[in-house]
A = this chain, B = another copy of it.
Amino acid sequence: MEEMARILLVDDEDDILEFLGYNLRKAGFDVQTARNGREGHQVACQWKPHLVILDIMMPEVDGIEACQLIRLTPEIADTLVVFLTARGEDYSQIAGFDAGADDYIKKPVKPNVLISRIKALLRRVSTPESSQEIIQARDFIIDKERYVVIKDSQQIALSKKEFELLVFLTSRPGKVFSRDDIFANVWGSDVVVGDRTIDVHIRKLREKIGVENIKTYKGIGYSYV
């Protein structure tokens, strides 16, 4: 299953939010919205979108400032940024690229144009490392090829299930995965095993990689911290 790209749409006009949001979702993107630059930056920090669409003209914190904010926040500094510019805002092109934009699109926006530009941008970034065999988590290196995890330059041997479980949990650090999520992705939808099975694997994993790395949310699920 391929993860769909997350796109954060930041504009102060509801019409545009709705219109573009609808079309982007229809194109298969996971869309989140915000109404000004500050909100946008906050959500971006939290949600880690692959791409942010910023209207230039916005109250409070405008698009260019928002872009600068993003570039100054290490965790999300390399997020793709696309500017939306009103007709005639010529300066925006220059200022936008100065601020670190990856593309800019003139209003009125045609959905299919927007979408193809976005896809092009995403493609450009995602191609080189599509066969991600080595994953870097906070203080691990996860080597899918060798089924090995390295922590503090120490190799940790994991069994298959333990390894897959870790890979899954680290796929989105912080996200809380329900037991169902875990079953569906680590075991497969057709397999039926008891609830305790996950507990036991979680326990073994914790034993090997350190308890503090996996957090329990009672009644909800587990997350990799």
Residues of chain A whose beta carbon lies under 8 Å from any beta carbon of chain B: 25-26, 30-32, 34-35, 39, 42-43, 46-47, 93-94, 97, 102-103, 111-112, 124, 131-134, 136, 141, 143, 145-148, 150, 159-160, 172, 174-176, 217-220, 223
30 contacts between A and B (CB under 8 A): A25-B124, A30-B131, A32-B131, A32-B133, A32-B134, A35-B136, A39-B136, A42-B136, A43-B134, A43-B141, A46-B134, A46-B141, A46-B150, A47-B133, A47-B134, A47-B143, A47-B145, A97-B111, A145-B172, A145-B175, A146-B174, A146-B175, A147-B176, A147-B217, A147-B220, A148-B174, A159-B218, A160-B217, A160-B218, A160-B220
- Which residues of B sit under 8 angstroms from A35, Cβ to Cβ? 136
Contacts of A102 in B (CB 8 A): 26
Task: Give every chain B residue within 8 A of A31 (Cβ-Cβ).
Answer: 131
Would you call B124 and A97 a contact (CB within 8 A)? no
Q: With a CB–CB cut-off of 8 A, which chain B residues contact A25?
A: 124, 131
Say whether chain A's binding surface is mostly helix, strand, loop, or mixed: mixed
How far apart are the CA atoms of A132 and B218 in the complex, in Å? 22
Indicate if the CB atoms of B97 and A219 lie closer than 8 Å.
no
CB-defined contacts of A136 to chain B, threshold 8 Å: 34-35, 39, 42-43
A146 to chain B: which residues have CB within 8 Å?
A: 46, 174-176, 223
Q: Which residues of B contact A112 (CB under 8 A)?
A: 93-94, 97
Q: How far is the CA of A190 from the CA of B150 in the complex (A)?
A: 37
Known: A43-B134, A146-B175, A146-B223. 14 other contacts (CB 8 A): A25-B131, A26-B103, A26-B124, A30-B131, A42-B136, A42-B150, A46-B134, A46-B143, A94-B112, A97-B111, A97-B112, A147-B217, A159-B219, A160-B220
